[in-house]
Amino acid sequence: MYFLELKCKLITPMFMAGADGRTPELRPSEFKGMMRWWWRAIKAEDNIDKLRKEEAEIFGGTERGEGRSKIRIKIESKIESSDITYYQPLPHHKRNSCPIDKQRDCRKAFTSKAIRYDKKVDIIFSFPENLTAQMESLIYLTFTLGGFGKRSRRGFGSIEIIKPTFEINTDNLLNALNKINNSYEINTSSFISGIQVIKNKKYHGGDYPWIREVILSKKEFDSSDDVLRLIGLASHKHRDPSLGNANPRMASPVYVSVVKIKNKLHPIITILNSAFPTKDRYNIQKQKDFIKEFL
C-alpha cells in the first residue's frame, strides 16, 4: 500500500455534517465520494458499462465480484467548538457570517452551522502502489476543481493543500487530468482573451456530467467573503434551470470552486456536460453569461 498524507486548510467555510445532518463533521465517506465523482467526470466515458466496471475496480461496488474499495481515507483532525461558525449559504445577502455565541440572531439571518474557513485538516490516503500516479492526480484534482459539503458548486468547502506542495496552474492541471484520461488539451481557439482554457477533445461522452472545460480565473480576492459574494451574486443574477434546478432535480453543470495562488483567492470554473432531465426550459446563454462573471 502507498500512503499519502495531506496537510490542508479550509479557504472557504464548509457545510459538512454528520449523520444527524446538522452537527459539523469531517466525513471520510464524503471525501471518497467526491474522489469517485470527479474520477467519473474526468473519464468522460461514453461506454457506461465500461465506466462502471473500471470505477468498481477502484472504488468498489455492490455487484457480484466487485468487492471493496481500494481507497482508504483517515482524517486525523477533529472538529472543536472553536472550529464552528454560522455562515449564510447565500453570501450575497447582507448578513453573511455570525459568531457561535449569537445563535438566536444568526437563525434570523438564515445562516447555518459551518466549519470555519481557516480550519487546518490532516488527511491520510492509502491505496495500492500500482494506482499511485492516478490516485495522486485524482486527489489533487478533487481538491482543486471542487469543494466538499453542501454548496460546494458555489465555492463553499474549498480546501488548500499545504503539503505536499502542488502549484496550481494550467499546465499542472492539464498534466493531472491526462494521467487519468489522456483527452485534454489547451483550447487555443478560446474566445476568452488572456485566459487559457483546458478543453476535453471528446465531443461525445456518456449522458452524465463529464468535464468539457476547465477555466482558472485571473480574478483575485483577499478574503473568502469577497469571492463567495461574487459567486452568490452571479448565481442570483443569472439563475435559470440550466444552472441547476429543484424540480426536476438537477445539480448545476457549471462548478465554481476557489483556489489559493500566492496568497490570493481565485475562482476556478469547471464546465460539465449538461445532462438535462428534460429537453425544455433551459437557456444555455445563461450558463455562458454566468461564466463570464468570473473572467
Torsions phi, psi of 256, nearest 5?
Answer: -115, 115
Residue 186 has pLDDT above 70, yes or no: yes
Residue 55 has pLDDT above 50, yes or no: yes
**3-class secondary structure per residue, 152-217:** CCECCCCEEEEECCCCCCHHHHHHHHHHHCCCEEECCCCCCCCCCEEEECCCCCCCCCCEEEEEEC
Laid out side by side, the sheet with 264-272 consists of 184-186, 197-200, 211-216, 264-272, 254-261
d(CA 201, CA 109): 45
Q: Which amino acid is it at 117?
A: Y
Residue 203 has pLDDT above 80, yes or no: no
Residue 294: its pLDDT value, please? 92
Residue 290: its pLDDT value, please? 95
CB 1 within 8 A of CB 127: yes
Across residues 38-57, what is the average pLDDT?
94
Residue 195: its pLDDT value, please? 86
Residue 101: its pLDDT value, please? 47
**Most confident listed range (16-30, 101-115, 193-207, 249-263):** 249-263
DSSP secondary structure letter of residue 76? -
How many domains does the chain fold into? 1
Across residues 270-288, what is the average pLDDT?
88
Mean pLDDT taken over the chain: 89
Give the Å distances, CA to CA, from 184 to 16, 175, 267: 31, 9, 20
CB 275 within 8 A of CB 176: no
Residue 210: its pLDDT value, please? 96
Cell of 239: 439563475
pTM of the model: 0.91
Residue 25: its pLDDT value, please? 93
Q: Kindly provide the residue ranges of all beta strands, DSSP E only, lying in the chain, ordered along the sequence.
A: 2-10, 72-75, 84-87, 97-98, 112-115, 120-127, 159-163, 184-186, 197-200, 211-216, 254-261, 264-272
Residue 160 has pLDDT above 50, yes or no: yes
| Of residues 86 and 64, more confidently modeled | 86
DSSP secondary structure letter of residue 245? B
Residue 100: its pLDDT value, please? 46
Q: Which amino acid is it at 80?
A: E
Across residues 266-271, what is the average pLDDT?
97
Closest CA to 270 of 191, 167, 183, 155: 155
Q: What count of residues does the chain have?
A: 295
Laid out side by side, the sheet with 72-75 consists of 72-75, 120-127, 2-10, 159-163
Cell of 216: 482558472
Residue 191 has pLDDT above 70, yes or no: no
Residue 230 has pLDDT above 50, yes or no: yes
Domain ranges, residue 262: 2-292
Give the angle 40-46-52 at the CA atoms, nearest 5°: 50
Q: Which amino acid is it at 211?
A: I
Dihedral angle of Cα 167, 172, 173, 176, to the nearest 10 degrees: -120
> pLDDT, tens digit, for every residue of 86-114?
888 887 665 545 554 454 455 555 778 99
Give the Å distances, CA to CA, from 156 to 47, 197, 259: 32, 23, 11
Q: pLDDT-derived band of residue 277, with 50, 70 and 90 as boundaries?
A: confident
Across residues 115-140, what is the average pLDDT?
96
